Amino acid sequence: MKAMVQDRFGPPDTLQLVDAEKPEIGSGDVLLKVHAAAVNPYDWHRLRGDPRVARLMGGVGLTKPKTRIAGVDVAGRVQDVGADVQGLRPGDEVFGFARGAFAEYAAADAALVVPKPASLSFEQAAATPIAAATALHAIRDRGHVQPGQRVLVNGAAGGVGTFAVQIAAALGAEVTGVCSTRNTDMVRSIGATHVVDYASADFADGTIRYDVILDNVGNRTIRDLRRATTPTGIVIVNGGGSPGHLIGAVGSILRAAIVVNLFVRQQITMVPTTWSRDDLLAVTELVDTGTLRPVIDRTYPLADTAAGLQHVEAGHARGKVVITVT
């Protein structure tokens, strides 16, 4: 099979398109024929081994990538199933979380793929898992968003942001999206009541205070975010940081959260990086009811995966970037 592999930490252009063996599957796994995969900041962090402290924690590898083939978000057809797999069979169209999705075939835990919504193409389905699940965790589980609350999404035009705006709006919130000038119409079209163009206005000047703020960008200090939050509001931090850091944004966020959460009624929290079948089923229900639709910026063929990663790494993707495989 063709696959994009990386044998050392580095920027996306260290990826190479090579012939590789199909992955072996265990008794609880499925082998997928990949039709599409999506690019996430998670992928470039792992490819770079960044922040460097992550290498010491064992998840990405110490001196070289632990996994040669990157990519998690996947949509495709079941090619083969393990001996203990029930409910899935060859030919089924599925989407979810895989191991090594930037390839013609990928292995996945059978519990982490579910039937693809009929209303979505393979490209749309691949664009959904991580970003939609992250938005769901942020808005529903961390923000506990209620009808009538004011919710602000910083980075509303990005992958997580576009899903977060839709979910918050569906929960009955008054949503404000922060984005660039070129994305204001799109962000409004997916459910934002108000749109702030960050080039001409400052959402953190304290003029308006929000019950929940989801920060997907990391370009404002915790102090800035708190100033824009109600006295009992919640600040949810997702992402931030750039390549080449020892610890990354997480360290400073955790320090701020400890101090704030001890002494004031505002809460500072982060989005957990956990994925489950329940997440996929919840997202599927939102798609099936017409509440949620992925926004796709652009697609790249498998051979140009590095270019897709570079586009996401630059921080200006409008919605999701998708890799088309077959």
**The pLDDT of residue 323 is above 70:** yes
CA distance 74 to 108: 9
- Classify each residue of 175-200 as buried b or exposed e, where b means 16 or more C-beta atoms within 10 Å of its C-beta: bbbbbeeebbebbbebbbeebbebee
Tokens of 207: 């003029």
CA 23 to chain CA centroid, nearest Å: 24
Record the tokens describing residue 101, joined without a space.
């999705």
Map residue 84 onto helix, strand or coil.
coil
pLDDT of residue 245: 44
pLDDT at residue 129 greater than cutoff 70: yes
Find the CATH number of the domain harbouring 124: 3.90.180.10
Tell me, yes or no, whether 139 and 264 share the same domain. Answer: yes
In a domain? residue 97:
yes
One domain, residues 227 and 201: yes
Number of domains in the chain: 2
Same structural domain, 74 and 187: no
In this structure, the number of other CB atoms found within 10 A of the CB of residue 68 comes to 17
Q: Is residue 218 part of a domain?
A: yes
Task: Tell whether the model's pLDDT for residue 274 goes beyond 70.
Answer: yes
**263 and 139 within one domain:** yes
Is residue 64 in a domain? Answer: yes
**Per-residue pLDDT band at 62 (split at 50, 70, 90):** very low
Average pLDDT of 5-9? Answer: 86
Domain identity same for 57 and 146? no
Predicted local distance difference test score (pLDDT) of residue 256 = 53
Q: For the segment 167-179, what is each residue's pLDDT rounded down to a tens digit?
A: 999 999 999 999 9
- Are 169 and 225 found together in one domain? yes
Same domain, 135 and 260: yes
On whether residue 258 sits in a domain, the answer given is yes
Q: Does a structural domain hold residue 283?
A: no
Does the residue 289 lie in any domain?
A: no
pLDDT of 285: 97
* Rounded distance between C-alpha atoms, residue 86 and residue 191, angstroms: 38
Dihedral of the CA atoms 197, 199, 203, 206 (nearest 10)?
Answer: -140
- Band (pLDDT 50/70/90 cuts) for residue 128 is very high
Which carries the bigger pLDDT value, residue 163 or residue 238?
163
| pLDDT score recorded for residue 264 | 62
Q: Are residues 12 and 113 in the same domain?
A: yes
Cβ count within 10 A of residue 278: 12
Residues 99 and 215 in one domain: no
The maximal CA–CA distance of the chain, rounded, in angstroms, is 60
Q: What is the pLDDT of residue 272?
A: 81
Could you tell me if 148 and 255 lie in one domain? Answer: yes
Identify the pLDDT of residue 198: 95
Determine contact, residues 319/132, Cβ cutoff 8 Å. Answer: no
Same domain, 32 and 54: yes
What is the pTM (predicted TM-score) of this model?
0.90
Q: What is the pLDDT of residues 276-319, one digit of tens each?
A: 999 999 999 999 999 999 999 999 999 999 999 999 988 889 99
- Is 66 part of a structural domain of the chain? yes
- Domain ranges, residue 307: 2-128+294-324
pLDDT, mean over the chain: 89
**pLDDT of 260:** 54
Would 182 be classed as within a structural domain?
yes
Q: Which helix (H) or strand (E) holds 313?
A: helix 305-313
String of DSSP letters for 22-73: PPP--TTEEEEEEEEEEE-HHHHHHHHT-STHHHHTTSS-SSS-S-SB---E
* Co-location of 315 and 247 in the same domain: no
Residue 177 CB contacts under 8 Å (≥ 6 apart), including other chains: 152, 153, 156, 157, 161, 165, 187, 188, 192, 194, 195, 196
pLDDT (0 to 100) of residue 43: 85
Q: Residue 220: which CATH number?
A: 3.40.50.720
- For the chain, the C-alpha Rg in angstroms (whole number) is 19
